[in-house]
């Protein structure tokens, strides 16, 4: 193959001919076009094919009916609480792991414990919470023993139980993101702060925390978007009493068999996700220009 | 030292040119990395491509190796055009700047890689590897992995890996850059010795003029994609063809002089016209090396001027004095006799140098 | 890190942190505990110890078939994603062609988009094209799910890889396929394997894509569990869940072995 055809990249690397490059990249590209872009376009198209009314009939329906807005709000509200909870829990753990914990073995063990739940299905993780939060579950038992309550409290099938279980599912993402930021903080900076007379709390507030902010924002973004899109955990933990967008989508597709309406809601969920990412990128740009 | 007898622009009288670079241009968009570069490289010579970063020397090397294709022009090795010949089919091997050893292979496997691709027999390969390891002094390191080797050791393995294939031409891309000074000097000597032993053509890229002078038969001084001067170290040092070359190799005084109404150049503050021909321009630079200047009034065949001493530093094997000419330009003097009394700071002293040693140069 | 810091502050953070660790591990411990119970109830600590629920699960063809389907889908999906994705990464990392950014974004986008949407998209697409709720539709959806994980891991591996060693290989006479096989792939292997394992697990545990593309006979293990949890809740659920947890432990240890969890590039 011709070296003179300008095929070597400016950065180096072996020589790859145009034909070879096309094959290497083309397979994956074709696959994604066929089975990702195609289906996505299908959904968008379907949302514009309502069984009755004009092309945008579904969108009008969603816009006009307060129910959908409430579901959206509920989804966002739950996601917000999940993000706050995972931030508090996750930041604490990550801070401890990176600044207080000495033993490398303990760090490794905690790391494995953080990552392990990610390798189990979220149905399994949610099931664990059903057992824990049930009327005969460990939490209720514990509260009774300690004397907080007399009889079993209805913990399950509330918004609260969704938030708890979803926070559990999302926590590792927050921990991992904040971890990677902490590891990039130059320890000399902390020492410099102490050297200049700042106590541990002031150092945290004025040095450590601000430096970790990008990780916090990134972690929050990940947790929030995943929470908005979550189906399994809210479905299991709500027992049909609480609705979030993904549950509604499932309902339209699988129960009511109204693909078009389901597609509309899917498009809206997608739009919401993209909007959240857009806000994040906007904040990122504002923040880094300060 | 391969003997000279070549004309200054490098075109050889003898038919022993191994690489012909024929008007090669390499463009990146509007930017010319190489501009109509022509060069004839002689068989068996040690040629250095010398210049600052960005001058195109590495680009030229990569074009010879085959990792880049020229925008226009042709490259011929042994008379054969390399157009459409990929790097793995060229009779050329490269020693990379950061060695590029295969980290997942041992020293022996690294070196045997080339011969294996050529399909040579196992025992022949083993013998070659052993021989080459001996040449670079790396016996005993056969089963080590690159990460267990020091920079200098990796460098020698990279060298061995390249020469075991008996290439017609060996390309070296600033291979000594990452080594400390002492090691670098030792490796320069080693490379020169290997060049003599192997008898193959070496093309060496560097920005270090001392290195180029120490090892090369010829040096091509490059600037912004062009060869500014090509010649032996001595030629370039004593007879640079421009202020750029004079300044790049060794230390040089470059004194700005004006061409007066009578068409002759004069030193600042001097009325005596300079007996030197210069470029056809209203101003030019007089080049004189600091070690060629001595104290005293000019005699026959010499050029003289006066200057005020500003600073003097004792560097061990010589004194380095900095003085100011009439118009404020600096002149540096490194008198050859380091035991003689040096003038005091503030003293106005006469300086002189031989006409032969000076040149009038343009940019 | 500092001897003079207020001890109570350190204590509070430490206790809170270990509390979070407990929070992280509690549900899994509970599930495993319940799986060993003698009784028919979901109580923790379990009443008595027995393997009977494991026996129930292992002899139940519904679970066994679902298990095998999950393995097949995840296995095949990972294989396809490796064969398609790794070569694509080799090109993406070096060629600066117009649209390279967009193509990269396309490949990595399933990571941030709601998997529910992917699930329904496959359902609709396959419906329109006539292969709805088949093994192939399910496989296609899962492969799309897996691909970005493999590509991201491969791209990270390639970013740490010295392209000059490829040039050296070619300089020494190797053709492009030889260079790939002898020099490039061996060096990026650990990262690619870790990416493959991660992708496998992502597919293995997925519910959102599978649930829209299953039938009563074509059903993956997580979906089977999902359905059962809403129906009869007895310790057999715990047993099958516990099995998946053991599986997860093995995967974590494997990835840690290959390139260390720290570099696995989790989301």
What 3 state SS string does C49-78 have? CCCHHHHHHHHCHHHHHHHHHHHHHHHHHH
Tell me the mean pLDDT in the region C94-122.
88
Q: Which residue has the higher pLDDT, B330 or A12?
A: B330
Token pair 């061990």 is at which residue? Answer: B316
Distance of alpha carbon B214 from alpha carbon B192, whole angstroms: 9
Beta carbons of C169 and B67 less than 8 Å apart: no
Q: What is the pLDDT of residue A9?
A: 35
Nearby residues of B208 by Cβ (< 8 Å), 6 or more positions away: none
Please give the residue that has the higher pLDDT: either B282 or C4. B282
User: Tokens 């993000």 sit at which residue?
Assistant: A83
Contact residues on chain A for C180, CB-CB shorter than 8 A: 14
Instruction: Identify the pLDDT of residue B335.
Output: 86
Between positions 25 and 84 of C, the ones with CB within 8 A of A are 25-28, 30-31, 34, 41-44, 80, 83-84
Closest residue, chain C, to A46 (C-alpha): C124
Produce one character per residue of C107-120: b if its CB has 16 or more CB atoms within 10 Å, e if not. beebbbbbbbbbbb
Q: How far is A85 from chain C (nearest CA, A)?
A: 11
Percent pLDDT > 70 in chain A is 93
Neighbours, chain C (3 or more CB pairs < 8 A): A, B
- Within a domain: A14: no
pLDDT of residue A58: 86
What distance in Å separates residue C107's CA from the closest CA in chain B?
29
Q: Three-state DSSP class for A88?
A: helix
d(CA C169, CA B161) in angstroms, rounded, equals: 10
Q: Could you tell me the end-to-end alpha-carbon distance of chain A, in angstroms, rounded to an integer?
A: 50
d(Cα B186, Cα B193) in Å, to the nearest integer? 11
Q: What's the distance, CA A21 to chain centroid?
A: 35
> In this structure, is residue C44 part of a structural domain?
no
CB half-sphere exposure, B131, CA atoms < 13 A: 13
For B305, other C-beta atoms within 10 Å of its C-beta total 23
- 8 Å CB contact of B69 and A15: no
Residue A108's CB: how many other CB atoms inside 10 A? 14
pLDDT value of position A151: 66
- The predicted pLDDT at position A286 comes to 81
CA distance C170 to chain B (A): 5
Residues A23 and A71: their CA atoms lie apart, in Å, by: 46
Model confidence at A6, pLDDT cuts 50, 70, 90, reads: very low
Whether the CB-CB separation of A171 and A90 falls below 8 Å is answered with yes
SS (H, E, C) B190-220: HHHHHHHHHCCEEEEEECCHHHHHHHCCEEE
DSSP B274: P
Contact status, residue B15 vs residue B238, Cβ threshold 8 Å:
no
pLDDT grade for C84, boundaries at 50, 70 and 90? very high
* Nearest residue of C to residue B92, measured between CA atoms: C171
Structure tokens at C213: 């593309």
Mean residue pLDDT across chain A:
86
Q: Which residues does B contribute to its contact with C (CB < 8 Å)?
A: 65-67, 86-89, 92-94, 96-98, 100-104, 113-114, 117-118, 161-162, 165
Q: What residues of C are in contact with residue B96 (Cβ under 8 Å)? A: 164, 167-168
Does any CB of chain C come closer than 8 Å to the CB of residue A229?
yes
Cβ-Cβ pairs closer than 8 A, A with C, add up to: 298
**Contact by Cβ (8 Å): C46, C54:** no
Domain-embedded: residue A257: yes
Contact by Cβ (8 Å): A126, A231: no
> Could you tell me the pLDDT band of residue A279, with boundaries at 50, 70 and 90?
confident
Crossing angle of helices A209-228/A159-183, nearest 10°?
140
Residue A27 lies in a domain: no
Q: Which residue has tokens 């005091």?
A: B344
Tell me which residue in A3, A5, A10 faces B87 most closely, judged by beta carbons.
A3
pLDDT at C267: 34
Cβ–Cβ contact A178 with C under 8 A:
no
Give the pair of three-digit tokens for residue A162. Answer: 């969704």
The model's confidence at residue C5, banded by pLDDT at 50, 70 and 90, is: low
Q: What Cα–Cα distance (Å) separates residue B255 from each residue in B286, B299, B329, B346, C130?
A: 5, 21, 7, 20, 86
Please indicate if any CB of chain B lies within 8 Å of the CB of A18: no
| Distance between C64 CA and the closest CA of chain A, angstroms | 17
Give C238's contacts in chain A (Cβ within 8 Å). Answer: 127, 131
User: How many domains does chain C fold into?
Assistant: 1
The DSSP line for B24-69 is: EEEEETTEEEEEEEEEEEETT-EEEEE--TTSSHHHHHHHHHTSS-
Whole-model pTM: value is 0.81
Q: Are B221 and B50 in contact (CB under 8 A)?
A: yes
Angle between helices A122-133 and A159-183 in degrees, nearest 10: 130
- Lookup result for tokens 């003997």: B3
Q: Count the Cβ atoms, other than its own, within 10 Å of residue A282.
A: 10
Domain that holds residue C218: 61-258
What are the two backbone dihedrals, phi and then psi, of residue A233, each rounded to the nearest 5 degrees?
-65, -50
Neighbouring C-beta atoms of residue C19, cutoff 10 Å: 13
Average pLDDT over chain C reads 88
Model confidence at A167: pLDDT above 90: yes
Pairing of strands B348-354, B302-314: antiparallel
Q: Is the pLDDT of residue A11 over 70?
A: no
- pLDDT above 90 for A57: no
Q: Which one of A21, A187, A250 has the shortest CB-CB distance to C91? A: A21
Is residue C150 assigned to a domain?
yes
pLDDT of residue B45: 94
In sequence order, what are the beta bridge partners of B20? B40, B76
Mean pLDDT of C122-137: 92
Domain count, chain A: 1
**Contact predicate A132/C26, CB 8 Å:** yes
Looking up residue C192, the CATH number of its domain turns out to be: 1.10.3720.10
Separation of alpha carbons B92 and B65, rounded Å: 6
Distance from CA of C44 to the nearest CA of A (A): 6
CATH code at position A186: 1.10.3720.10
The gap between the terminal CA atoms of chain C, to the nearest Å, is: 29
Q: What is the mean pLDDT of residues A50-59?
A: 83
Contact call for B114 and C183, based on CB within 8 A: no
**Distance between CA atoms of B348 and B337, rounded to whole angstroms?**
19
Query: Smallest Cα–Cα separation from A193: which of A107, A101, A99?
Result: A99
pLDDT for residue C177 is more than 50: yes
Residue in A closest to B83 by C-alpha: A4
Q: Which of A18-27, A159-168, B64-73, B258-267 has the lowest mean pLDDT?
A: B258-267
C52 falls within a domain: no
3-state secondary structure of C203: helix
Nearest CA in chain C to A25: C88
- pLDDT reported for residue A2: 34
In DSSP terms, which residues pair with B40 in a beta bridge? Answer: B20
Per-residue CA distances from A112 to A107, B110, C238, C255 (Å): 9, 38, 22, 11
Is residue C206 over pLDDT 60?
yes
CB contact under 8 A, A3 and B69: yes
In this complex, the residue of B67, B92, B162 whose CB is nearest that of residue C167 is B67
Burial class (CB in 10 A: 0-12, 13-18, 19+), B180: exposed
- C214 part of a folded domain: yes
- Cβ–Cβ under 8 Å, residues B91 and B78: yes
CA distance C164 to chain B (A): 5
| CA distance linking residue B287 with residue B242, whole number of Å | 9
Encoding tokens for residue C116?
Answer: 């529910």
Answer whether the bond into residue C45 is a cis peptide, omega within 30°: yes
Lowest mean pLDDT among A98-102, B48-52, B152-156, C221-225: A98-102
Is A1's CB within 8 Å of B86's CB? yes
> Per this entry, what is the length of chain A?
290
Give the strand pairing for B169-173 and B92-95.
Answer: parallel
Contact between chains at C94 and A119 (C-beta distance less than 8 A)? no
Residue closest to B189 by CA, chosen among B214, B222, B169: B214
Q: What is the average per-residue pLDDT within C206-217? A: 92
Which of C2, C20, C238 shows the shortest C-beta gap to A92? Answer: C20
Q: What pLDDT score does B10 carry?
A: 52
pLDDT surpassing 70 at residue A217: yes
Q: Are A230 and A224 in contact (CB under 8 A)?
A: no
Query: Three-state SS across C96-150?
Result: CCCCHHHHHHHHHHHHCCCHHHHHHHHHHHHHHHCCCCCHHHHHHHHHHHHHHHH
Residue B152 near residue B179 (C-beta atoms within 8 A): yes
C-alpha–C-alpha distance, residues C169 and B109, integer Å? 12
Task: Look at residue C126 and tell me if it is in a domain.
Answer: yes
* pLDDT on residue B13: 52
**Terminal-to-terminal C-alpha distance of chain B:** 31
On chain B, the residues whose CB falls within 8 A of the CB of A18 are none
Do C267 and A136 make contact, defined as CB atoms within 8 angstroms? no
**Cα gap A77→A71, rounded to integer Å:** 10
Contacts of A259 in chain C (CB under 8 A): 124, 127
Predicted pLDDT at B1? 40
- Structural domain including A203 reads 48-289
Query: How many angstroms separate the CA atoms of C1 and B354, rounded?
Result: 70
pLDDT at A10 over 80: no
**Prediction ipTM score:** 0.87
Task: Check residue B340 and give its pLDDT.
Answer: 72
Q: Which residues of chain B have pLDDT under 50?
A: 1-7, 12
Q: How far is CA A193 from CA A96, A180, A187, in A?
A: 19, 21, 10
Give residue C226's pLDDT. 92
Query: Which residue, chain included where needed, has tokens 């024929």?
Result: B22
């Amino acid at each position: 193959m011709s070296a003179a055809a300008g095929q070597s990249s400016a950065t180096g690397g072996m020589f790859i001919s145009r034909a070879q490059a096309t094959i290497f990249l083309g397979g994956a590209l074709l696959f994604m076009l066929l089975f990702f872009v195609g289906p996505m376009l299908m959904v968008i198209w379907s949302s514009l094919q309502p069984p009755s009314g004009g092309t945008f009939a579904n969108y009008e329906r969603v816009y006009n009916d307060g129910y959908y807005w409430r579901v959206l709000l509920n989804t966002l509200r739950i996601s917000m609480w999940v993000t706050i909870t995972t931030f508090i829990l996750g930041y604490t753990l990550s801070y401890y792991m990176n600044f207080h914990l000495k033993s490398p073995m303990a760090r490794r063990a905690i790391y494995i414990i953080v990552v392990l739940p990610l390798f189990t299905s979220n149905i399994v993780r949610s099931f664990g919470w059903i057992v824990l939060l049930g009327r005969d579950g460990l939490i209720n038992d514990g509260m009774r023993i300690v004397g907080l309550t007399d009889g079993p409290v209805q913990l399950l099938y509330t918004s609260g139980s969704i938030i708890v279980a979803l926070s559990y599912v999302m926590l590792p993402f927050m921990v991992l993101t904040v971890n990677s930021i902490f590891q990039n903080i130059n320890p000399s900076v902390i020492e410099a702060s102490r050297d200049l007379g700042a106590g541990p709390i002031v150092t945290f507030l004025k040095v450590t925390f601000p430096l970790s902010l990008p990780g916090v924002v990134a972690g929050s973004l990940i947790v929030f978007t995943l929470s908005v899109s979550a189906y399994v955990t809210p479905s299991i933990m709500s027992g049909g009493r609480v609705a979030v967008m993904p549950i509604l989508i499932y309902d339209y597709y699988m129960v009511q068999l109204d693909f078009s309406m389901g597609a509309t809601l899917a498009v809206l969920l997608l739009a919401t996700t993209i909007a959240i990412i857009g806000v994040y990128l906007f904040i990122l740009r504002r923040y880094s220009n300060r | 030292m391969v003997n000279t007898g070549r004309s200054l622009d490098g075109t050889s009288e003898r038919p022993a040119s191994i690489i012909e670079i024929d008007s090669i241009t390499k463009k990146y968009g509007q930017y010319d990395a190489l501009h109509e570069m022509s060069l004839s490289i002689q068989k068996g010579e040690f040629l250095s491509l010398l210049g600052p970063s960005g001058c195109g020397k590495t680009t030229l090397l990569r074009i010879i190796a085959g990792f880049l294709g020229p925008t226009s022009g042709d490259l011929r090795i042994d008379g054969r055009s390399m157009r459409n010949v990929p790097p793995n089919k060229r009779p050329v091997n490269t020693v990379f700047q950061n060695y590029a050893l295969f980290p997942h292979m041992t020293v022996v496997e690294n070196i045997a890689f080339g011969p294996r691709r050529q399909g040579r027999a196992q025992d022949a390969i083993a013998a070659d590897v052993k021989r080459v390891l001996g040449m670079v002094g790396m016996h005993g390191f056969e089963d080590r992995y690159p990460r267990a080797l020091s920079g200098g050791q990796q460098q020698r393995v990279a060298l061995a890996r390249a020469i075991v294939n008996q290439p017609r031409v060996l390309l070296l891309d600033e291979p000594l850059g990452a080594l400390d000074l002492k090691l670098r000097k030792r490796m320069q000597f080693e490379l020169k010795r290997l060049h003599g032993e192997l008898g193959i053509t070496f093309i060496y890229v560097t920005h270090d003029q001392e290195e180029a002078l120490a090892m090369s038969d010829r040096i091509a001084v490059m600037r912004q994609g062009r060869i500014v001067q090509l010649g032996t170290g001595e030629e370039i040092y004593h007879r640079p063809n421009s202020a750029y070359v004079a300044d790049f190799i060794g230390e040089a005084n470059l004194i700005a002089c004006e061409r007066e109404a009578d068409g002759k150049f004069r030193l600042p503050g001097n009325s005596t016209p300079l007996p030197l021909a210069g470029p056809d321009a209203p101003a030019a630079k007089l080049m004189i090396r600091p070690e060629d200047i001595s104290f005293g009034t000019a005699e026959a065949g010499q050029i003289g001027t006066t200057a005020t001493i500003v600073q003097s530093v004792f560097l061990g094997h010589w004194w380095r004095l900095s003085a100011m000419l009439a118009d404020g330009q600096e002149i540096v003097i490194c008198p050859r006799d380091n035991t003689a009394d040096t003038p005091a700071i503030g003293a106005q002293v006469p300086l002189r140098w031989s006409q032969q040693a000076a040149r009038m140069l343009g940019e | 890190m500092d001897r003079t810091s207020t001890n109570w502050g350190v204590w509070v953070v430490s206790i809170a942190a270990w509390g979070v660790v407990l929070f992280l591990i509690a549900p899994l411990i509970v599930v495993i505990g319940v799986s060993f119970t003698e009784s028919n109830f979901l109580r923790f600590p379990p009443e008595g110890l027995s393997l009977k629920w494991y026996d129930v699960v292992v002899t139940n063809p519904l679970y066994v078939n679902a298990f095998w389907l999950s393995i097949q889908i995840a296995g095949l999906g990972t294989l396809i994603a490796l064969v398609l994705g790794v070569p694509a990464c080799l090109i993406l990392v070096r060629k600066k062609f117009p649209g390279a950014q967009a193509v990269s974004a396309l490949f990595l986008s399933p990571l941030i988009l709601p998997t529910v949407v992917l699930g329904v998209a496959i359902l609709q697409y396959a419906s329109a094209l006539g292969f709805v709720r088949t093994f192939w539709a399910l496989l296609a959806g899962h492969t799309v799910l897996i691909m970005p994980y493999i590509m991201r891991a491969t791209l990270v591996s390639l970013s740490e890889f010295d392209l000059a060693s490829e040039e050296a290989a070619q300089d020494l006479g190797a053709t492009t396929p030889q260079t790939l096989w002898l020099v490039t792939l061996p060096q990026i292997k650990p990262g690619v394997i870790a990416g493959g394992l991660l992708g496998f697990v992502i597919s293995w545990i997925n519910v959102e894509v599978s649930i829209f593309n299953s039938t009563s006979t074509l059903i993956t293990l997580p979906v089977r569990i999902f359905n059962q949890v809403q129906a009869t809740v007895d310790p057999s659920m715990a047993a099958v869940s516990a099995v998946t947890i053991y599986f997860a432990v093995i995967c974590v240890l494997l990835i840690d072995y290959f390139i260390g969890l720290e570099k696995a590039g989790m989301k």
